[in-house]
């Protein structure tokens, strides 16, 4: 063999070995896992199915991460939707585990069918131990375990950031990263996980379900962009609905944007292949696309769902696919503070003695704070293309990832961060003996209560009407531990999306006299998507807030159900293409297997409407009724979101009877099933409750913006100036109701401080107790509590010790493709050249570049070949 051939062969072998190492590294060293666990089962079918399922899911996720890495701007509507639906890392881990669980069981089912020529549910043949083992290896089992709840006195004083342990008997009720509640069983085409309209030719009441884009074109399409104004309510009520929805529910979509089988990019296929569920585009559609479909990604499944019911000791796994709510269900201000410890830690200013939240350090709004920017840059938000200096404005960081969706929503998020910091500073001045942790937790508790008050007192009665409010919600009777507060699938996916029909197509920005701003023109809605630069460079919050206060919401009418900005231009920036919000909502409902419109009417005790004549009793526009019948062929086939949306509104409300019922039931559950509801016993003192009841969104705006005149109720439409009052006349809470004795703590001196942690005081059995906690990334060593006795504190304070996350082999923080390096309070996942860290911060993916070592090797090889050739020629000449 020649030297050149040897070199080539050597390089080829080295490349092969390198690729093999990387490949097997990325696939979690599955052989090691299988040798350690699956061989105990002794079942080759399960072994091969798990190994293949793991490979399929991880390959698709790796492809998605690599694709996302090259996306530094949101250049298409589908990218914007994907960015909007991207979950926090903890939710992504749960999603991955659930996809592996479901894919493995599906493979087992298919192989049994191939072998025995009959369809058998995988879980009918697998033992509980075998199912538990698959759940353990997939990562699902750890997420299904009930959380460990604190037993100290703070457990009754402050809610956990995840919402867990609110109900002491059902610890996961309302917690983040739990399955949405089902009030009626899902209707999947295979009974377990396949969406409605997944299988061509599948009939419902003798008819196929119409494609969702066809429904949008026939029923939702408006002839122009004109809308009817609401003569009672402002655009603020629309924005609050969106904001509070983002406080209680977020269903992330699949972490993969490629099919698990075959690895096809969902953008390039019109087949229904999990997780791709494309929206079919009818012929001669107005969308300018060369394809027959729009990409659509299924929602992430919750762990342990999608097959038959399984009991893991105390763990119950649903027999149908369920979807995750990544947020706490409670109205608790998670839009401000997040729903996971990691995000909360990122949002907090831990160096502040006042318990503040982080704010923007580069820009301010006339001396007031902006939200901080995300850490990962460049972020994909739109940029000011007209800026001659090219100054980048990154996406904002907030408690909910959708805060950048539209600048009016970003403005509300900003107001509440300012409100928290305002309250925390004042509380610290009133209570100089308080720790930063106490100031933070008390401010957070107040902000959460204000969210509850504004929503239940000022917002919900206007939406469902006073009569429905009394019927479905009624007066507060105290906390009821038998009520499950978990947000329901039908509420999140259908009923509370009624607000999409009330969004105006234009966002106005007004000057201090509430007139059109000469320097800031009104924006079409699509011009305000993902554009935080407009707040920072174009006048700040005040012009946007004035537009929300004085401009009307949109009123749904039969010929203008939804604005063309939402059905034809959703998430349009500078590039061609768009999405259709009506189609997305309908497809999402089918993805989740929501029962139809009439099933939900029956659930609410309303009459089923199974004829065209009976439909016309709740939808008085006969032309609209005819359109619905023409589209669906049978009333029982009507999608619940559409049916509930087009019902005639209840008197004094903005929803029809079905959505009034579903929203009312959900709001009652959120109130009565919340142990920390602001009116509940022992949450606030009577004087504190009296002060909280005085506050309003009007006062929040006055305290945290440059707006000086508002309506007393900012949801009610009024004329300027006669219906506006000075902020000086708006009543608000007096924080002196939270003032405590600053001198001593019982008979003890102020508790000692600890490094990388903090403390909060509380009372238990008439004794003063101090409870210590560590910052995220640290753990307590020593006693968590100290009690004040006659001789002083009962023990020495604990210390906060760094957690070495890299030592956790059961739940590794870094992917096997990365090397974990521990740091104080955190860790880093490191990649070897030419691999780089993906967006999840834990996985290494190919950078697409040659490794530096490989480049050097190639150069040295050519140098060596050159030297060898020169020596060979020299020897020949000498010969």
Q: Can 592 be counted among the known catalytic residues?
A: no
Q: In this structure, what is the dihedral angle of CA atoms 746, 748, 752, 753, given to the nearest 10 degrees?
A: 10
How many residues are there in the chain? 879
In terms of Cβ atoms closer than 10 Å to its own Cβ (0-12, 13-18, 19+), residue 716 is middle
The residue ranges of DSSP E strands in 737-848, in sequence order, are 757-764, 767-774, 778-781, 785-789, 792-793, 799-802, 819-823, 826-830, 835-837, 844-846
Q: CA-CA distance, 297 to 323, in Å (whole number)?
A: 13
| Element at 113 (helix H, strand E) | helix 89-116
Active-site pick, 8, 55, 143, 246: 246
CA distances (Å), 265 to each of 254, 262, 270, 276, in order? 13, 9, 10, 9
**In this structure, what token pair is assigned to residue 587?**
């497809």
Please give the span between the terminal C-alpha atoms of the chain, in angstroms, as a whole number: 24
- 234, 507 in Cβ contact below 8 A? no
Partnered with residue 523 across adjacent β-strands are 507
> Are residues 430 and 735 in contact, defined by beta-carbon separation less than 8 angstroms?
yes
429 Cβ contact list (under 8 Å, min separation 6): none
Question: Is 695 annotated as belonging to a binding site?
Answer: no
Q: Helix (H) and strand (E) counts for the chain?
A: 29, 24
Phi and psi at residue 75, to the nearest 5°: -95, -5
CA 118 remoteness from chain centre: 40
Residue 293: closest CA among 310, 271, 311: 271
Query: Chain-centre distance of CA 76, in angstroms?
Result: 21
Closest CA to 736 of 690, 669, 794, 781: 690
Q: What is the DSSP secondary structure assignment for residue 454, as one 8-state letter?
A: I
Q: For the chain, what percentages of helix, strand and coil (3-state, to nearest 5) are there? A: 40, 15, 45
Residue 134: other Cβ atoms inside 10 A: 28
The b/e string for 428-444 (b: 16+ C-beta within 10 A; e otherwise) is: bebbeebbbbbbbbbbb
| Pairwise CA distance, residues 561 & 228, whole Å | 10
Radius of gyration of the chain (CA): 29
Where does 592-676 have alpha helices with state H?
597-603, 612-615, 622-632, 640-646, 657-672
Contact present, 766 and 756 (Cβ < 8 Å): no
396 and 410 Cβ atoms separated by less than 8 Å:
yes
Task: Return all residues near 858 (Cβ < 8 A) that are at least 6 apart.
Answer: 11
| Neighbour tally for 630: CB within 10 Å | 11
Cα separation, 724 vs 732, in Å, equals: 17
- If DSSP codes are grouped into helix, strand and coil, which group holds residue 748? strand
- Number of other CB atoms surrounding residue 312 within 10 Å: 18
Alpha-carbon distance 547 to 551, whole Å?
6
Peptide bond into 780 cis (omega under 30): no
Determine if the peptide bond prior to 378 is cis (ω within 30°).
yes
Phi, psi of 741 (to 5 degrees): -65, 120
Please say whether the beta carbons of 90 and 177 come within 8 A.
Answer: yes
Which three-class secondary structure state does DSSP give residue 296? coil
User: Binding-site residues for heme b, please?
Assistant: 500
User: Binding-site residues, please?
Assistant: 500
Q: Which residues are catalytic?
A: 246
């Amino acid at each position: 063999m020649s030297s050149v051939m040897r070199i080539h062969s050597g390089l080829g072998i080295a490349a092969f070995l390198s690729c093999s190492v990387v490949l097997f590294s990325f696939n979690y060293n599955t052989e090691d896992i299988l040798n350690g666990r699956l061989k105990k089962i002794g079942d080759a079918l399960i072994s091969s199915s798990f190994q293949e399922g793991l490979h399929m899911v991880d390959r698709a996720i790796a492809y998605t991460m690599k694709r996302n890495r090259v996306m530094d701007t949101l250049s298409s509507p589908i990218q914007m939707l994907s960015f909007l639906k991207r979950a926090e890392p903890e939710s992504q881990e749960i999603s991955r585990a659930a996809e592996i669980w479901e894919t493995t069981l599906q493979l087992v089912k298919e192989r049994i069918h191939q072998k025995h020529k009959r369809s058998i549910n995988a879980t009918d043949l697998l033992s509980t131990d075998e199912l538990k083992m698959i759940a353990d290896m997939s990562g699902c089992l750890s997420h299904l375990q009930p959380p460990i709840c604190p037993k100290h006195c703070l457990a009754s004083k402050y809610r956990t950031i995840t919402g867990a342990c609110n109900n002491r008997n059902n610890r996961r009720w309302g917690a983040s990263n739990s399955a949405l509640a089902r009030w009626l069983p899902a209707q999947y085409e295979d009974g377990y996980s396949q969406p409605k309209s997944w299988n061509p030719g599948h009939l419902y009441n003798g008819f196929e379900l119409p494609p969702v884009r066809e429904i949008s074109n026939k029923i939702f399409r408006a002839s122009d962009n004109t809308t009817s104004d609401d003569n009672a309510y402002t655009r603020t009520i629309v924005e609050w609905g969106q904001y509070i929805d983002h406080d209680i529910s977020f269903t992330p979509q699949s972490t993969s944007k490629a099919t698990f089988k075959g690895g096809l990019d969902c953008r390039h296929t019109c087949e229904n292949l999990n997780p791709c569920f494309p929206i079919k585009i009818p012929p001669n559609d107005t969308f300018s696309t060369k394809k027959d479909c729009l990409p659509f990604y299924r929602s992430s499944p919750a762990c342990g769902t999608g097959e038959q019911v399984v009991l893991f000791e105390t763990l119950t796994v649903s027999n149908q696919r369920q979807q995750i709510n990544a947020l706490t269900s409670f109205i608790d201000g998670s839009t401000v503070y997040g729903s996971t410890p990691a995000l909360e830690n990122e949002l907090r200013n831990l160096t502040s003695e006042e318990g503040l939240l982080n704010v923007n350090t580069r820009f301010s709004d006339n001396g007031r704070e902006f939200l901080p920017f995300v850490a990962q840059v460049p972020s994909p938000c739109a940029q000011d293309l007209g800026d001659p200096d090219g100054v980048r404005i990154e996406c904002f960081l907030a408690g909910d990832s959708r805060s950048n969706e539209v600048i009016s929503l970003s403005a509300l998020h900003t107001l509440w961060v300012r409100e928290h910091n305002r309250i925390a500073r004042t509380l610290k001045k009133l209570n100089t003996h308080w720790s930063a942790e106490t100031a933070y937790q008390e401010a957070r508790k107040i902000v959460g209560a204000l969210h509850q008050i504004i929503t239940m007192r000022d917002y919900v009665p206007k939406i469902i009407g006073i009569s429905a409010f009394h019927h479905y919600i009624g007066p507060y009777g105290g906390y009821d531990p038998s009520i499950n507060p978990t947000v329901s699938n039908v509420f999140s996916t259908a009923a509370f999306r009624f607000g999409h029909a009330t969004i105006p197509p234009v966002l106005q920005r007004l000057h201090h006299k509430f007139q059109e701003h000469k320097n800031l023109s009104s924006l079409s809605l699509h011009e305000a998507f993902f554009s935080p630069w407009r707040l920072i460079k174009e006048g700040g919050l005040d012009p946007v807030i004035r537009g929300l206060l004085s401009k009307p919401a949109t009123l749904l009418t039969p010929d203008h159900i939804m604005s063309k900005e939402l059905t034809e231009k959703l998430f349009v920036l500078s590039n061609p293409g768009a999405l259709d919000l009506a189609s997305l909502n309908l497809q999402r409902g089918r993805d989740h297997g929501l029962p139809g419109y009439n099933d939900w009417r029956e659930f609410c005790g309303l009459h089923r409407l199974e004829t065209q004549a009976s439909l016309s009793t709740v939808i008085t526009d006969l032309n609209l009724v005819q359109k619905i019948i023409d589209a669906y062929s049978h009333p029982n086939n009507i999608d619940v979101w559409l049916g509930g949306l087009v019902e005639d509104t209840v008197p004094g409300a903005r929803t029809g009877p079905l959505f009034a019922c579903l929203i009312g039931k959900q709001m009652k559950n959120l109130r009565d099933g919340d142990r920390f509801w602001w009116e509940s016993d022992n949450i606030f003192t009577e004087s504190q409750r009296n002060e909280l009841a005085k506050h309003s969104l009007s006062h929040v705006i006055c305290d945290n913006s440059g707006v000086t005149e508002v309506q007393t109720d900012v949801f009610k439409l009024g004329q300027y100036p006669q219906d506006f009052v000075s902020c000086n006349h708006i009543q608000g809470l007096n924080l002196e109701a939270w003032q405590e004795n600053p001198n001593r703590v019982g008979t003890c001196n102020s508790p000692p401080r600890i490094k990388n942690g903090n403390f909060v005081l509380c009372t238990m059995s008439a004794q003063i107790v101090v409870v210590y906690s560590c910052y995220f990334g640290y753990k307590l060593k020593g006693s968590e509590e100290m009690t004040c006795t006659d001789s002083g504190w009962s023990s020495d304070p604990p210390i906060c010790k760094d957690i070495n996350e890299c030592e956790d082999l059961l739940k590794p923080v870094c992917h096997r493709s990365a090397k974990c390096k521990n740091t104080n309070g955190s860790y880093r996942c490191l990649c070897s050249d030419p691999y780089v860290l993906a967006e999840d911060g834990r996985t290494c993916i190919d950078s697409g570049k040659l490794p530096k070592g490989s480049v050097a090797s190639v150069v040295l090889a050519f140098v060596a070949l050159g030297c060898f050739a020169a020596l060979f020629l020299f020897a020949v000449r000498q010969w």
